[in-house]
Amino acid sequence: MHRVAFVVLTLLALVFSASAQFTFTSLDYPGGNLTTARGINDHGQIVGAYRTVPPRHALLIENGQYIPLAPETLLATDYSEAFKINDRGDVVGVFIDVNGFEHGFLLRKGVLTTLDFPGASDTLALGINASGTIVGYWDLLDGNGNLLAVHGYTWKGGSFTQFDFPGATDTSLFGINDRGDLVGGWDTGVTSPNEHGFECFNGKCVSFDVPVAGAPITQLDDINAHGDAVGGWVDAEGALHGFLLAEGNFTSFDFPGSADTIAFGINAAGQIVGRYDDADGSKHGFLAQPENIGKPQ
């Protein structure tokens, strides 16, 4: 995450113990030394990345099988990571070229399309809904590689539209649901030590900071069909935690025994995916299964 509220989201700030609500499963690519889980659709398909030797590559997890994505393309040779998958199986994510620049991608029916916002230094594709609308952010660097600006965007049918949270200097879009609701993060400048989350419903955007004293960073990473959102927050000591924001209730959670946890994706059934770091710093994906639905297949 690299990013005071203008409009404060009104919510019933209740913090629950997540241990009673979720069954956690670690997701680890066989023989790999890194696994991430970034998105999950309503069919239970999960996307992220794996690594055996550097760099990492985009990954699909389906029916318990770990499947490298598009092995005949640059996703299998360059650094790549899949971020979201819609119910049609369209996947968006990011790859890094030989010069170190980031590019968004759309993988649809085996066809790989590169997404670059016009004039951008880097473009990241981080969310997609059923209609094929893609969201993400782009940045601008100077000749020395210093960050000058960050802006969100939406993409549909080949056309980009810039998106900025009202009053923000930097904006990142991370998720979109089928209604077109958006989530992301914003801040007041490229050197700001603070980041605020936000949600947009019916074109109206509200800022959100976790109801925890001293927390400098809140980021909303995904939103499902019911308007439930997940993300990550950093506490005053610098530790990273996942959270769920549902029906006005805030729930912070951590993968059991982890050093850091962040939630990246949620589907309509309330299944959450993300990444956790163990005590040795190794990165693993996870699935958090709500106790009120069946066990993962």
pLDDT at 293 exceeding the cut of 80: no
Around Cβ 148, how many Cβ atoms within 10 Å? 10
Mean pLDDT of 192-213: 96
Q: How do residues 77-90 score in pLDDT, each as one tens digit?
A: 999 999 999 999 99
Cβ pair 50, 66 in contact under 8 A: yes
pLDDT at 261 exceeding the cut of 90: yes
Stretch among 16-20, 54-58, 105-109, 232-236 having the lowest mean pLDDT:
16-20
Mean pLDDT of 188-193: 94
Confidence band of 2 (pLDDT split at 50, 70, 90): very low
Mean pLDDT of 278-293: 91
Mean pLDDT of 23-49: 98
**Cα dist. 234→123, 154, 209, 273 in Å?**
25, 27, 11, 18
φ, ψ dihedrals at 145, nearest 5°: 85, 10
Q: What is the token pair recorded at 37?
A: 């889980």
Which amino acid is it at 46? I
Q: How do residues 36-46 score in pLDDT, each as one tens digit?
A: 999 999 999 99
Q: State the pLDDT at residue 7.
A: 27
Cβ pair 231, 241 in contact under 8 A: no
Residues in contact with 54: Cβ distance below 8 Å, sequence separation at least 6, in sequence order: none
Taking alpha carbons only, the member of 1, 12, 10, 25 closest to residue 273 is: 25
Confidence band of 6 (pLDDT split at 50, 70, 90): very low
The residues facing 276 across adjacent strands are: 261, 284
d(CA 219, CA 200) in angstroms, rounded, equals: 14
Q: Which residue has the tokens 């996870």?
A: 286
pLDDT at 1 exceeding the cut of 90: no
With b for 16 or more beta-carbon neighbours within 10 A and e for fewer, the 234-256 pattern comes to bbeeeebbbbbbbeeebbbbbbe
Q: Which fold has domain 18-290?
A: Neuraminidase (2.120.10)
Q: What is the token pair recorded at 59?
A: 């990954």
Q: Which long-range contacts (CB under 8 A, 24 or more apart) does 157-162 make?
A: 157/132, 160/117, 160/118, 162/117
pLDDT at 292 exceeding the cut of 80: no
> Can you say how many angstroms the Cα of residue 254 is from the centroid of all Cα atoms in its chain?
16
Q: In percent, how much of the chain has pLDDT > 90?
A: 90
Q: How are strands ordered across the β-sheet holding 249-253? A: 217-223, 229-234, 240-246, 249-253
Q: Which residue has the tokens 């601008």?
A: 140
pLDDT at 296 exceeding the cut of 60: no
What letter would DSSP give residue 10? P
Confidence band of 34 (pLDDT split at 50, 70, 90): very high
Q: How do residues 127-155 score in pLDDT, each as one tens digit?
A: 999 999 999 999 999 999 999 999 999 99
Domain locations along the chain: 18-290
Confidence band of 21 (pLDDT split at 50, 70, 90): confident
Mean pLDDT of 85-111: 97
Taking alpha carbons only, the member of 101, 110, 108 closest to residue 134 is: 108
> Can you say how many angstroms the Cα of residue 282 is from the centroid of all Cα atoms in its chain?
19
Q: State the pLDDT at residue 194.
A: 97
Average pLDDT, the chain: 92
